[in-house]
A = this chain, B = another copy of it.
């Protein structure tokens, strides 16, 4: 698998996790299946679209490449089918959101680096990509974003992940082993911080 294909796979997986978090919130708020699909699209694609607009890469991937529609459709269908058996929306939403955060802080940083951004810009864009979809989700649902919630630790794991990605990349150590290790670290950091508050 080429680097570009690997980056896109990472991106699509992140879209899926965030899309599930959007559909779960839609279910909790009583949206119908179309509202669920739309919120899945907004949350899943939002961070990446903001990243691509800021990187000025032309039409953002999420709009230009129809494959980006598959994760939100899958997510909305999955949540719809499992609707009645899901009990703990908040826990599940946080887990999927944490998984999306872990992947997007890496894919955002790497995409910025491949477009020639300096390391500071790349880290900023990694954090923006990671928190962007969640902020859009919370604003749309009329809630103060968990990003700003003093009891949540949300931006710090994304920052650690983006900074580690930029560092490891510049050292030439970014591999199929170190990449997932950073993602796992960010995910565990976010989930542990959330459970302890």
Contact = CB atoms under 8 A, between A and B. Distances in A.
Nearest to A38: B155
Interface string A141-155: 111110111100101
A54 interface: yes
A93 interface: no
Interface string A29-59: 1111011001100000000010001111011
B66 A150 contact: no
A64 interface: yes
A131 to B, nearest CB: 8
A118 interface: yes
A140 B138 CA distance: 9
Interface centre among A124, A147, A148, A156 (most CB of B within 10 A): A148
Contact of A148 (B121, B140, B145): B140
A139 interface: yes
Copy number in the complex reads 3
A120 interface: yes
B150 A30 contact: yes
A142 B144 contact: yes
Nearest to A57: B56
A60 interface: yes
A125 B63 contact: yes
A120 to B, nearest CB: 4
A23 to B, nearest CB: 12
A105 to B, nearest CB: 14
A64 to B, nearest CB: 6
Contacts of A143: 142
Given A35-B148, A140-B145, 10 more contacts: A26-B148, A31-B148, A32-B150, A49-B54, A54-B60, A55-B59, A59-B117, A63-B117, A69-B124, A140-B144
Which 5 pairs across A and B sit closest by C-beta, in order of nearness?
A: A32-B150, A66-B120, A35-B148, A56-B58, A31-B148
